[in-house]
Amino acid sequence: MAFDLNGKTALVTGASRGIGRAVVETLAAAGARVAFTYRSSTDQAQALCRQLEDAGSECLVFQGDAANMSSAEEAVGGVLKAWGAIDILVNNAGITRDGLMLRMSEQDWDAVVGANLKSAFNFCKAAYRPMMKQRSGKIVNMSSVIGVSGNPGQTNYAASKAGVIGFSKSLAKELGGRGVTVNVVAPGYVETDMTSGLSDAARKALLDTAALKRTATPQDVANAVHFLVSSAADYITGHVLHVDGGLAM
């Protein structure tokens, strides 16, 4: 079956909760052996791994800062040592530190660009040679509707997520000849901890703008990732798949 991931190995960054957790659960349910990274939510990460193992899946967990190259090398190396291959890489790790640029600190800029964009570089760099040698692989990098349309108070976030798109398109051209696809998922507003602070007025404005008149769930995004890492998407690369209910039309 096109969406069957039996025998595949996957690594998902920033996956102890929210979208990343849904991606991990979805890929494991499709048959993949799944490793994931987290930064600080140890209890949630360990609980997720136990959940997968109780369901009969193989699981690896790595703690670290995705913005550091050493964390990426440790995780990719750990997957290769345990399972011998890395077939799927999903770069989901990310943060927000919103505020008008007038008051945005250099630290807030660097932190967001590091967590959202440099982390994708780090893990893609670490997986580059192994996937080239395999002559196969699926990479999905997480962007955002904000990286396409922009948003006041999110210049750092918008820049990082727009950078993910340009980075992914360039990498797709580098790796295509070796059978490796690189695609982007660009969610709209998703019901996660990251968006839980939205005011009622802001939430209403989003619902009014979206063609589907609802926010997304983490599972909506995970389903798109599942498609792009499956054999159903073998001839898709350099693509940005919007999962935004029509916000970016």
From 38, 128, 157, 189, the catalytic residue:
157
Cα–Cα dist 219/122, whole Å: 26
Residue with tokens 């209890």: 43
Contact yes or no for 66/39 (Cβ under 8 A)? yes
Residue 157 is a catalytic residue: yes
Q: In what order do the strands lie in the sheet with 240-243?
A: 59-63, 33-38, 9-12, 88-91, 137-142, 180-187, 240-243
Cα–Cα dist 22/19, whole Å: 5
If phi > 0 it is left, if psi is from -120 to 50 it is alpha, else beta; for residue 5 that is: alpha
Query: Which residues make beta-bridge pairs with 33?
Result: 9
Residue 214 CB burial class (10 angstroms; 0-12, 13-18, ≥19): middle
Find the distance separating the first CA and the last CA of the chain, reported in whole Å.
32
Q: Which residues are catalytic?
A: 157
